[in-house]
Every structure is written in C-alpha cells, then in structure tokens.
A and B are shown apart, each in its own frame.
Chain A
Amino acid sequence: MDLEKIEDLLKLLRDHDVDEFELQDGELAVAVKWGGTQVAVAPTVVAAPVVAAPAPAAVETVTMAGAPAAPAAPVAPAASDDTHGIESPMVGTFYRASQPGATPFVEVGARVSVGQTICIVEAMKLMNEIEADVDGVVEEILVEDARPVQFGQVLFKIRKG
C-alpha cells in the first residue's frame, strides 16, 4: 500500500465521518484515530515477524504526507469528560490475568476503584501490577492478552463515576 492510497483512504474515512479505523494488510498495519479536530496517527508495534529481505519494504508507521507533524504519540483517547484512558507506564507484555488460565482481573462492564489491580505488564521477567487511577466502569479493553505494549499506550477506557 503506497502513500497515495493511504491518503485516499484517509480522505474516504473523513468523508464518511469515521472516527476510528484499523487495517492489517500483510506486513502493513494502519491504525488511525481522530480526536476532536486534530488528526493523530498511532505508530503500531508490528507483532508479525518482518521478513528480513535485502530491501525491506514494510512500513507500519503511517505518516501523513504534507501534514505538519502531529503531537506526541501514542494516541490519547478522544476527549470526553467521562472517559478516562489508563495508559501503560512501561514497555512490556500486557496480561489480563495474574497467570495463564486464571480469571482476568476485569472484564468490560466491571466496576473498578482507585488502586485496584486491573492488569499486569510484564517487563524483563518482572510482573508489574497496573492499578486503576480512577473510580468507574470498564468501557473498553484496548489490548489483547499477551500482546506487547509501549510506554503511554492506552490499555483501558474507564467511564468515570
């Protein structure tokens, strides 16, 4: 997929008022999210192995041709006063439960309170418990179990209250 096609795609999405879009096409992953009037583009960590070809063509970070550099990634959730994004404080692997096969800490719809453990991010063989920093209800879980996460990546959306 070349840059021109990406531009056409983005135009199409905007024309149809799409808020959020994700596409995986072989080695290319495109994730786009509109928040307010700013267009933010999320660089994704490609989990699929990159083929070590002499001239690697895969690009999974989308750059907006002609647009000024967007503010710092990763993407913050679309601003809504009631919704709060819980971001990963570190790089590592995200786990929904304390160990494989155990019940996940939370599911969508669960009520959480400040200080409650909601997931694990494992880094260098250390399991770090991540706690909710607001009271509310889990609206969305944005990362699948055992997937890699970066610093600042949004893991959960909590509807405050």
Chain B
Amino acid sequence: MFKKILIANRGEIALRIVRACREMGISTVAVHSACDAHSLHVRLADEAVCIGPAQAKDSYLHIPAIISAAEITGADAIHPGYGFLAENKEFAEVVAAHSMTFIGPSPEHLSMFGDKLSAKEAARDAGLPLLGGSTGAIDDAEEAVNVAKEIGFPVMLKAAAGGGGKGMRIIRNTEELVRVFPLAVAESLAAFGSGLVFLERFLERPRHIEVQVAGDAEGNAVHVLERDCSMQRRQQKIIEEATASSLDSDLRDRICVAARDLVASTGYTTVGTVEFLVEEGEFFFLEVNPRIQVEHPVTEEVTGIDLVQLQIRLAAGERMPFSQEEIRAHGHAIEIRVNAEDPVTFLPSPGLITGYHEPGGPGIRIDSAAHEQAMVQPYYDSLVAKLIVWAPTREQCIRRTISAIDEFVVEGIKTTLPLQRELLSDEAFREGRFHTRYVNEYLEARDAN
C-alpha cells in the first residue's frame, strides 16, 4: 500500500481524498496554488507545497511543478481527483516514468476513453448498444450532411476530444449543419486541441443514466449500480440521484451489466463511470469517464462502499474486495451541487463567504471545503459544496433534502440552492417524469413569466 499520496487537486475533492488517506493511515501531500494556501484540505494534509500562482495553467495543470513537489516530498503515488489532470494521458505517463503510481486507469485506457470515437469503438466491440451516427470523424460539411440524412435529424455534432458536457451542438436541419460545421471544428480545436468532430443521433428527451464501475488488475470487474443525472442545466449536472427512480428493473440490470461488460472486455482498472442515454425502454452508450466523479457520494451512501478508498486500493494492486452479489442498494440518495452562481442569471458569484452553517441530522452529508471566511476563488470552477442526503425512500429523501437546504446558510456569495429547492418541490421531478432537457425547459418557462 502507498506510504504517501500527493493530491493533485483542490477544493472538496482534495479534502475527500485527504480524508480517505487519513483513514487508511497514508500520509498526504497537498499541492496548492498561492491563493489556496489556507484552504481546508491544505491545513488537514500532513504536508503542503505551494506549486504556483492562482492561474490553473501555472499551478494545478502545471505538470513539472506537481512532479517536482512529489519528488521533494517523496510521494509514491499521485491522486489526480477529477478535472485538471485526472484524464491527462501525458500526466499519467510522466507519473509512471518517475516511479510513482497514478491513481487512476492506465495511459492506454485514458487514451481509449478520452477520445469519444475510440470509446464508441470499444463499446461496440463489447457489444453495447450505440446511438446511430458516424463511425468515425467527419471530414467536411458534405459528409456531415450525408450522415445526418442517414440517421435522421435532429443530430448532435460533437467534438471527439470534448468532455464535461462541453463541445456539442444540436443541429435540426441541413442548412444549419452546413453553416455550423466549420464553426464547431474551429471551437473544438481551440477548446480541446483537436478539430475532430462526429455526428450522433439526437434523442429529444432521454434520461442520463450512468453506472459506477470498478476493475482490478486481475481482470475482476464489477458494477456498483447506477445513478440518474438527468437534472442538468446546459449539460451541467446540478442534481444527481442513486439509484434511478421509475426505471424498469430488467432494463436497469441490462444497463449495469453492459457497463460491467465494457470494463471486463477492455481490462479497465480502478474506478470509472459508464454513461448511457435511456429513452423509451432503450439504452445507448454515451461515453466513459475514467476517473472518480463529482457525484460518487450518492453511490457511496446507498451501497456503503467507500469509492475513493476502493480506488486507492485497486491502484495499489489489491484485488476487488467484494463480489458483484455483495453489492446492494439500500435506500435512496440525492446530491445537490451547491455552485457559487446566481440562481436566476447563473452568473458566477465568487467572493468571501461571510456566513456559513451546514445542515445536519440523520442522513445528511456535506462534502465541502467551504467555511466561514473562506474565499471562493474566481480562477476555478464554481462548486462550493455538495449536499448529499440519504433516506429509506426517494420520497423521504426529497423531503429531507428540502429541509436540509432550508437549514443551509451560505452568506457573502450567491448559490444555486434556491433553484435546486424549487426543482425538488416540482411535481414532475417528484414523480420521476424528467429528462435531460427538463431543467432547461423549466427555466425557459420560468423566465418567460
């Protein structure tokens, strides 16, 4: 087992990793930018190294600084968290070249699943159902039009190197496709370093169902059940649940097993998530996230499995500590992503938190690095806290979450909590009649009034 892990991340996930390491008796090194020097995980870690100025490209994304910090502290493993360098193949290779373990999948698997096209190919080879679309990258608008006519409008034009819900456009007709195609290529090149784009059939109102998976070095693969992440505003998840509600149990099993099959057939190791779109009793492979995810806590709450500790153990070469049969869901969990944004305009709201009080009581968990007098920095993402609620049933869980939101005090910055509270109270949400466009439509209707 590792003696010392360097956490190449910040905020709530860095704190999460520090906590997992402390429980396991592993020493921790927190690397941080100059403006994060007093953040919670830095104070709780055993060692801290300032690696650069606030700008991520000069600190959290700056590979030499992170490797150098690992060298001077003698870390034997690096946990990349999510975002930043978590899916960066070059980083994983450099870490290995310095005789340290990258806590995540191999560079080959990062490569395979980092590119959406090769991910689709791997899924196809494993027998997973795919959305109709181009089999590879599309060279020009003319080819795009041919493919679109074959699969039928509307279509989704996607960047092969895109991720995190970015780099995709809905196209409804030929004229739009021809006009938008060169723009999409240019944007993709600028944002992701690759101008490769492809087309996929666009589903109007699917649900986003994702499956937590894990694999060990011996080829043992398990799924750790599913999450419903359909509540998204502009492709960004704001409410997540485990397990998915009103999903036919046979369909659920087939989706989870398909995800596990993909892990088994590719030999994927440590933890990850396989995402699907589900519409009218059919499911389609979307992509793989080869990392620990923001919403991992809801799975932890219903299964009792510590996914970060599992990830560390698997990265250390340990065998999968449980069998598929031992994995069960108990109760229901909801996660609210508390973002520092105006709940109406969604403009970012960084600044000093002048008042802060977390809710408590049975089934309440907060994953957050926030506290009174903490500065929410403008240089990074807007996630301030994750409110995770567990209860025996979904209905109780919703009530408990609303109650917890009412107790949650965050002053000095604006947060999305009022919006999430509204959505939790909405009848369609409570009855499980929602999909990936639901939040957008809800907001459009609200703004129109």
Contact = CB atoms under 8 A, between A and B. Distances in A.
Interface string B23-49: 001110001001101100011001111
A46 B47 contact: yes
A90 B68 contact: yes
A151 B375 contact: no
A52 B38 contact: no
Interface residues of A, number: 32
B110 interface: no
A43 B65 contact: no
B38 A153 contact: no
Interface stretch (B50-58, B148-156, B211-219, B407-415): B50-58
B86 to A, nearest CB: 20
Contacts of B49: 45, 91, 148, 150
Interface string A29-71: 0000000000000010110011011111011110100001110
Contacts of A60: 46-47
Interface residues of B, number: 35
A74 B27 CA distance: 22
Contacts of A73: 34, 37-38, 50
Given A53-B25, A151-B52, A72 B37 contact: yes
A148 B26 contact: no
A69 B373 CA distance: 7
Contact of B67 (A45, A69, A93, A124): A124
Interface of B: 3-4, 22, 25-27, 31, 34-35, 37-38, 42-43, 46-53, 59, 64-65, 67-69, 71-74, 98, 373-375
11 contacts: A50-B46, A54-B25, A63-B43, A73-B50, A74-B34, A74-B50, A91-B72, A93-B72, A148-B49, A151-B34, A151-B65
Interface of A: 43, 45-46, 49-50, 52-56, 58-61, 63, 68-70, 72-74, 90-93, 123-124, 148, 150-153
Given A53-B25, A55-B25, 11 more contacts: A43-B42, A49-B74, A50-B46, A61-B42, A69-B374, A73-B38, A92-B68, A123-B67, A124-B67, A124-B68, A124-B71
